[in-house]
Amino acid sequence: ITPTRAGVGLADRLGEALGLIRSAVAGLRTGTEPLRVTAVPTFAMRWLAPRLARYHALPGAAPITLDVSAELRSENSFDIAIRTGLGGWRGYQATALMPVEATPMLGPTLAAKARLSRPEDLAVLPLLPYDEWPRWFREAGAEPPALHFYADDYPTHELDAAAAIEGAGVALLSPTLFDTLLRDGKLIQPFPHVMRGPAQHYVLLKAGEARPAVLHLRDWLVDEARGGATTNPAPAAPSTAGTLD
């Protein structure tokens, strides 16, 4: 069965109307219910969780139930989603938090053994698999003859970082998300160039979301991502294509 164009349009408008009804009913409930937040694993561990104490110190902060997963979640299972991509989540208000970043990092033991005076020198080391390695070398002005990849391919950047710390190879990681490991000397960033974008980390709300607690948490997330400056960002218009992933 394939819906007609008119049927798709009707479904979208009904979804927005039901969202408004859901928000209105929730606003009449007494007591403070936990906000259900779903976030991808590395972002949740390295950026969100360390900052939640600051959020809970604010007046009116709501309790949070955190779901850590990269998998698709149904819209009825969360209040706020943090996902990574190029945008285009159908039926959601998407607000960009920060661009996705990546730069080479390796453990101090491997760094001490290697002679890394220019980006091309990384090509002789095992690189933890990541599709954006050729792009990083191009942007860094390097043209290595060949790249050598580590045998195992890990599903998260958190696992890449753990492998890099143990000397398995060089990982492409975000200096923002892994700044504590850099400060502690557990990881070394040998070169200054950092890839940024085009993908971004987004905070997503359901279309028509109007609950003050949800909007307050969304605004706080954006404020934190922009360095703590006082902001009151307007949400982006609901997207018309794409999926929540």
pLDDT band at 23; cut points 50, 70, 90: low
Assigned token pair, 123: 């090509």
pLDDT band at 2 (very low <50, low <70, confident <90, very high): confident
- End-to-end C-alpha distance for the chain, whole angstroms: 25
Which of the pair, 133 or 88, is modelled with greater confidence? 133
Residue 25: pLDDT above 90? Answer: no
Q: Which of 12-26, 32-46, 88-102, 113-127 is the least confident region? A: 12-26
User: Which two three-digit tokens encode residue 201?
Assistant: 């980390």
Over residues 27-55, the mean pLDDT reads 84
Residue 243 clears pLDDT 70, i.e. is over it: no
Find, among 68, 86, 90, 107, the residue nearest to 188 by Cα: 107
- Give the mean pLDDT of 69-81: 84
Whether pLDDT at 192 is above 80: yes
Mean pLDDT of the chain: 84
Nearest to 94 by CA among 234, 227, 220, 226: 234
Residue 224 has pLDDT above 90, yes or no: yes
Q: CA-CA distance, 42 to 31, in Å (whole number)?
A: 32
How far is residue 214's CA from residue 206's CA, in Å, rounded to a whole number? 10
Q: Return the pLDDT at 216.
A: 94
Task: Give the pLDDT of residue 75.
Answer: 77
Q: Where are the alpha helices (DSSP H) in the chain?
A: 5-28, 41-43, 52-56, 108-113, 133-139, 157-165, 179-183, 212-225
Q: Is 82 helix (H, G, I), strand (E, B) or coil?
A: strand
pTM of the model: 0.75
- Compare 130 and 90 and report the one with higher pLDDT: 130
**Which of 94, 44, 31, 39 shows the shortest CA–CA distance to 70?**
39
Percent of the chain with pLDDT over 70: 82
What is the rounded CA–CA span in Å between residue 126 and residue 234? 44
pLDDT digits (tens, 9 = 90+) for 44-69: 999 999 999 999 999 889 999 999 98
How far is it, in rounded angstroms, from Cα 14 to Cα 41? 32
Tokens read off for 87: 């945008």
Q: What are the beta bridge partners of residue 82?
A: 39, 203
pLDDT digits (tens, 9 = 90+) for 200-222: 999 999 988 999 999 999 999 99
Average pLDDT of the segment spanning 10-25: 61
Pick 53 or 244 by higher pLDDT: 53
- Give the pLDDT mean for 90-100: 92
Closest CA to 147 of 123, 119, 180: 123
